[in-house]
Amino acid sequence: MNRDDIGKTDDTSHMDEDEVLRIMKMRIIESYRWKLDIIEPISRELGISEEELEEILIKRLDMASLEALHPRYESSQHYCIKEKLHADLRLCWLSDVMNILSEEETEKIKNKIAAEILNGKSYQKALEDGRKDLLEYLMR
């Protein structure tokens, strides 16, 4: 069975369990939000085709994991953005190494910038503005 046939049949009586499971997994993976939120960006990041990433997910994840992955992805966005900001703003040096900023101050800065990004501001613009705000804060 090829990719084009997936989802076009309701008669699965002639298929074995693995084929039916594959069809069910592909229906999840090929949904619009999955493509947009997970498949496209991660395949680009890994430098592989979308089909290759889909095969990896089908092989490595069971149905429960696939069904739960998208909500986890959405809830992890804030955390991942904050981690990236931590590195890009060199907060590891300012907070973790030099102790110029407290952990609470660092979290407040990251949360503010992450919220701006999640509300539609580009990452680059938010990072630039965040750098300016951070410098002003440090100069006080």
CATH of the domain at 126: 1.10.3070.10
Average confidence (pLDDT) over 43-71: 88
Whole domain around residue 88: which residue ranges? 76-140
Q: Is residue 10's pLDDT more than 90?
A: no
Residue 22: the pLDDT is: 87
- Whole-model pTM above 0.85? no
pLDDT above 70 coverage of the chain, percent: 88
Residue 54: the pLDDT is: 92
Residue 111, both tokens: 């949360």
Residues 112 and 56 placed together within one structural domain of the fold: no
Residues 6 and 36 placed together within one structural domain of the fold: yes
Residues 87 and 115 placed together within one structural domain of the fold: yes
Q: Is 133 part of any domain?
A: yes
Phi and psi of 102, rounded to 5°?
-80, 165
Name the domain count of the chain: 2
Residues 39 and 95 placed together within one structural domain of the fold: no
Residues 98 and 43 placed together within one structural domain of the fold: no
Burial 1-11 (b: 16+ CB within 10 A, else e): eeeeebeeeee
43 vs 4, residue with greater confidence: 43
Average confidence (pLDDT) over 126-136: 95
4 vs 56, residue with greater confidence: 56
Q: Is residue 104's pLDDT more than 70?
A: yes
Query: Average per-residue pLDDT in the chain?
Result: 86
Region of 52 on the Ramachandran plot (φ > 0 left; ψ -120 to 50 alpha; else beta): alpha
Q: Is 68 part of any domain?
A: no
Q: Is 15 part of any domain?
A: yes
Q: Is 9 part of any domain?
A: yes
Q: Is 71 part of any domain?
A: no
Q: Is residue 105's pLDDT more than 70?
A: yes
9 vs 100, residue with greater confidence: 100
The closest of 108, 119, 113 to 132, measured between CA atoms, is 113
31, 61, 91 - which closes a domain: 61
Residues 81 and 129 placed together within one structural domain of the fold: yes
pLDDT grade, residue 129 (50/70/90)?
very high
CB-based contact 111:91 (threshold 8 Å):
no
Q: Is 4 part of any domain?
A: yes
